[in-house]
Amino acid sequence: MGYRIETEKAELTRHRVLEEAPEPAPGEAIARVDLVAVTANNVTYAVHHGPPLHYGAFFPASGPEWLVVPLWGFATITASRAGGVAEGERVYGYWPSASHLRLLPRARAGGGFSDMAAHRQPMAAVYNAYVPAGSVAPSPADEAAAALFRPLFGTGFALDAALAGNPEEAARAEHLLFTSASSKTALGAAWCLKQRGTHRVIGLTSARNRAFVARTGLYDEVLAYDEVEALPPERPVVLVDFAGNGATMQRLHRHLRALAASHIVGDTHWQAPAAADLPGPKPSFFFAPATMAELSARMGPAGFQSALSTRMARFLADARNWLTVVDHDGPDGFAAAFDPLVTGRADPATASVWRPS
């Protein structure tokens, strides 16, 4: 018997466990979810369960008040009535907070398959793609780190490419300012930019997380939020917001009079009110899947996956110096990993993976 965990939309720390026993119809396969990452990225999915991003639509819940939180990681095909998908095959992709998922696979260029379930087709195709586990993690020992960072590092990889592909903006400002600098997406982007060496990257974080962020060595300068006014107001800067905190954005837009551009990537401070009527340049929303699709079209699916995997492997080798991975098991393990992220109590020096079975 399997199960899925549903989370209340109005109270993200309230969960319920529902039993289910999925069986494949002709053309379908059943995947057992083995190991998935639980990060602030998943809280973002839960917060933005409705339009325009519709993260709650990938894995429908049993009622309108509930959602099934999407997670990235690894699974094993345990039953298959789909051609080209064998029992025992292990894949990486986008999973529900559940022990199993019913899939309608169709082979895709570059290996793996896409889930063609009708309810998933209106959303970005990158979320419906499943690739061989070995193309993401060379060995089972690497899967926890790969589950944690593949989607987050992928966003950082795409952001780095987008910034590098905007020479006009780069010419206006060689400094980048990251809010929520301790978030794993920000850390991945900072690592990519450090390898490129074209920008100085300043990290903004809480006073509690400042020492950790500095210890990673990924930023040229690290400041706490209460030190915003220490930034030279006439320094040309591109702001990259991973926090979504309206009050912080107001302070930055008012103080940085030479602000060259403002980009919104995430909202780790999701409970804070959003910004409105900001002075200076209007913030633009960075949607990583669109940039990933452009890179895949330009490089070819296999070339894109190879480039992403190669850079991520180097990043993970560095991350082992400053990050500790914590395992959580079974139905209760999901709440143990997810709830501290919702309430802001998670330690940035640790990262959680969840094993449903």
- Domain locations along the chain: 2-149+318-355, 166-286
Q: Between the ranges 17-21, 52-56, 260-264, where is the mean pLDDT highest? A: 17-21
Question: Cα(64)–Cα(67) distance, rounded to whole angstroms?
Answer: 8
pLDDT-derived band at 309, boundaries 50, 70, 90: confident
Residue 270 has pLDDT above 50, yes or no: no
Per-position DSSP letters for 195-208, written without gaps between them:
HHTSSEEEEEE-TT
Amino acid letter, 19: E
pLDDT-derived band at 272, boundaries 50, 70, 90: very low
Residue 141 has pLDDT above 50, yes or no: yes
Q: Residue 33 in 3-state DSSP?
A: strand
Give the Cβ contact number of residue 317 at 10 Å: 10
Q: Which pLDDT does position 170 carry in this prediction?
A: 62
Q: Which run of H or E residues covers position 298?
A: helix 288-299
Question: Cα(45)–Cα(9) distance, rounded to whole angstroms?
Answer: 11
- Of the candidate ranges 22-31, 116-125, 264-273, the one whose mean pLDDT is the lowest: 264-273
Average pLDDT (260-266) is 87
Residue 147: alpha-carbon gap to chain centroid: 10
Q: Which pLDDT does position 285 carry in this prediction?
A: 87
Between 152 and 188, where is the model more confident? 188
Q: Which pLDDT does position 267 carry in this prediction?
A: 57
Amino acid letter, 42: N
- Is the Cβ–Cβ distance between 137 and 74 less than 8 Å? yes
For 2-149+318-355, CATH number? 3.90.180.10
Residue 335 has pLDDT above 90, yes or no: yes
Q: Which pLDDT does position 81 carry in this prediction?
A: 97
- Of the candidate ranges 146-160, 191-205, 247-261, 271-285, the one whose mean pLDDT is the lowest: 271-285
Q: Which pLDDT does position 73 carry in this prediction?
A: 97
Residue 275 has pLDDT above 80, yes or no: no
Residue 269 has pLDDT above 50, yes or no: no
Residue with tokens 């592909």: 165
- Of the candidate ranges 108-122, 138-152, 167-181, the one whose mean pLDDT is the lowest: 167-181
Closest CA to 186 of 249, 283, 260, 263: 263
Buried b (16+ CB within 10 A) or exposed e, 34-53: bbbbbbbbbbbbbbbbeeeb
Triad 293, 239, 314: Cα angle to 5°:
55
pTM over 0.85: no
**166-286 CATH, one of 1.20.120.1780, 1.10.10.10, 3.30.499.10, 3.40.50.720:** 3.40.50.720
Report the interhelical angle of 288-299 vs 143-164 (nearest 10°).
Answer: 80
Percent of the chain with pLDDT over 90: 63
Question: Cα(2)–Cα(330) distance, rounded to whole angstroms?
Answer: 11
- Of the candidate ranges 37-41, 70-74, 300-304, the one whose mean pLDDT is the lowest: 300-304
pLDDT-derived band at 289, boundaries 50, 70, 90: confident
